[in-house]
Amino acid sequence: MNLTLDIGNTAVKWATFEGRELVDCGVGMPDEWLAKADHTLACASGNLPEDVAVERLTADTPLPIKLDYKTPETLGADRVADACGAVSLHPGEPCLVIDAGTCITVDFVDAKGVYHGGAIMPGLKMNLQALHTFTAKLPLIDLERVEKAPVLGRSTEESILAGTLGATLLALAGYVTLYKEKAPGLRVLLTGGDAEKLMASGANGWEHVPHLTLIGLNEILIENEK
């Protein structure tokens, strides 16, 4: 059994796999599974607890994809895992992965399984926090109670949401359009904690894969078991 962990800035997500079949998943440190797993791999953009000894995805880890990136040593492990997951789900097809977490990343993998890079932009909560922090009167909006972004803001709160969720979605849609011109037949995969907010706000036609990072880590484990 394989155990994969996505250790982010706000939460630890995990999944167990038998081969490529996802068996179980959850949030928090899976102490029971850590002792039972045959193979474990973690990507850590956040801090890993000192008492947890697991193998981490690094720039030296063999991958099932090729990297065409100027600074692979600085490339986020979660971005690499997302790309590996996308290629495993759609082999032989170009993929654009949008991971909506603390930051939002956009990453392109071509039909030959070559990762070319992409973009990093502030996440939804980061944008909301910045508006509140760097102005005198704009309130801090709790994203958890927001279902979707209004197109037209008819109050200060609605205007902030239109300018964060709405503008973020328009920016991402613009990236999708650009990459579809570059790679006909492009698959667009959406993952991350704020993916559902984007979907509710109009991210139509994108494939929602909640556990994409964990799936990609499992693919890397499978590659290294050969």
Residues catalogued as catalytic? 78
- Please state whether 90 falls in left (phi above 0), alpha (psi between -120 and 50) or beta: beta
Residue 56 DSSP label: B
CB 107 within 8 A of CB 97: yes
Pairing between β-strand 39-44 and β-strand 2-7 as defined by DSSP bridges: parallel
Q: Which amino acid is at 83?
A: A
Buried b (16+ CB within 10 A) or exposed e, 57-66: beeebebbbe
Question: Within a 10 A sphere around the Cβ of 192, how many other Cβ atoms?
Answer: 28
> Which ranges constitute the DSSP H helices of the chain?
31-36, 77-89, 124-133, 156-161, 167-182, 195-200, 212-225
CB 148 within 8 A of CB 166: no
Side by side, which strands form the sheet with 66-67? 66-67, 114-122, 103-109, 95-100, 187-191, 207-208
Question: Within a 10 A sphere around the Cβ of 33, how many other Cβ atoms?
Answer: 18
Helix (H, G, I), strand (E, B) or coil at 119: strand
